[in-house]
Structure 1
Amino acid sequence: MRDFDLSPLYRSAIGFDRLASLLDNASRNEQSQPAYPPYNIELLDENHYRITMAVAGFDNAELSIKSEQDILIILGQKQQDATDTRKYLYQGIAARNFERRFQLADHVRVVKASMDKGLLHVDLVHEVPEAMKPRLIEIESMA
């Protein structure tokens, strides 16, 4: 990915500094974040999303999902088996620890997580509070 200079956004946009920071951080993280494990982000419908992550070889007990404010953290800690004496001629299945972070938009929360055939599915929903939804205001006549 190319480097973009976002400093003009900081100078001319008032109130959008958080957006500029997010864009700046995203471009930095994209370059530094490893590609393991691979994942998909799906839009199921207007307000429902799903993150699907390929975690072959990991057990449910070796995975943890944590949601803090606007960040979703998926952590994989592979347990070291002291009795494992296998000698590989070739080892193509990765068995390393990982930490994957996702920036969540406002009012997005994790609904559930499930494991199926080596894929971890994390379902998310975007719920806008009633106070923030647009509302129709009736116009009264004074006659």
Structure 2
Amino acid sequence: MRTIDLSPLYRSFIGSDRLASLIDAANRTDNQSTYPPYNIELLADDQYRISMAVAGFGQDDITIEAQDNTLSIQGKKPESTEQEERKFLHKGISEKNFERKFQLGDHVKVMGANLADGLLHVDLERHIPEAKKPRRIEIGSRLIENKNDQ
């Protein structure tokens, strides 16, 4: 019997519980590069943090956009006007531009972002409206919609 590795499903989905969305994310994750590396942390029940290693990028080089349920993080280095030729003995720090997209679950909002020590931290929080939260129904109780109907 085959074991299915579901770890790609957890890479780019935050706060989503729908299986169909997870399968869709797995297809998109395979097409993305692995640069830049990132972590997704669960800080509390409804609080998350994405930490992305963006060494060499400054605050002005990074754009963060949230639209619908998609969080997009782009890094673009300005093109150098000087034709300075550098000679590397070893080059392990990438300077390439990147774009990383994350599918956010319903009601997940971006709370803020911070860039420090080469790490970009994006804080997320899930706010479930009261109407969507589960409610306990007592046995023997009856909900009356309109008292005029009696």
**TM-score with structure 2 setting the length:** 0.75
Offset at residue 24 of structure 1 (A): 3.4
Offset at residue 130 of structure 1 (A): 1.1
Question: 1:39 maps to what in 2?
Answer: 38
3-state secondary structure, aligned to 2:22: helix
3-state secondary structure, aligned to 2:41: strand
Cα distance, 1:23–1:133 mapped onto 2, change above 3 Å: closer
Per-residue CA deviations over 1:46-78 (Å, capped at 9, x if unaligned) read: 010000000000010000100010010001011
C-alpha distance in 2, partners of 1:66/1:76? Answer: 12
CA RMSD in angstroms comes to: 2.2
> What are structure 1's unaligned runs of at least 5 residues?
3-17
3-state secondary structure, aligned to 2:26: helix
C-alpha distance in 2, partners of 1:84/1:132? Answer: 58
Question: 2:69 maps to what in 1?
Answer: 70
**TM-score with structure 1 setting the length:** 0.78
Offset at residue 113 of structure 1 (A): 0.2
C-alpha distance in 2, partners of 1:43/1:74? Answer: 19
% identical aligned pairs: 47
> What are structure 2's unaligned runs of at least 5 residues?
5-17, 143-150
C-alpha distance in 2, partners of 1:135/1:25? Answer: 30
C-alpha distance in 1, partners of 2:105/2:91? Answer: 38
Equivalent runs, 1:1-143 vs 2, <5 Å: 19-20=19-20, 22-83=21-82, 85-89=84-88, 90-137=90-137, 139=141
For these two proteins, the number of residue pairs brought into alignment is: 125
**Displaced runs of 4+ in structure 1, greater than 3 A?**
none
Code of the aligned partner of 1:112: G
More RCO (CA 8 Å, sep 6+): 2
Offset at residue 84 of structure 1 (A): 5.2
Per-residue CA deviations over 1:81-132 (Å, capped at 9, x if unaligned) read: 2125141223221011100000100000000000110000000001100111
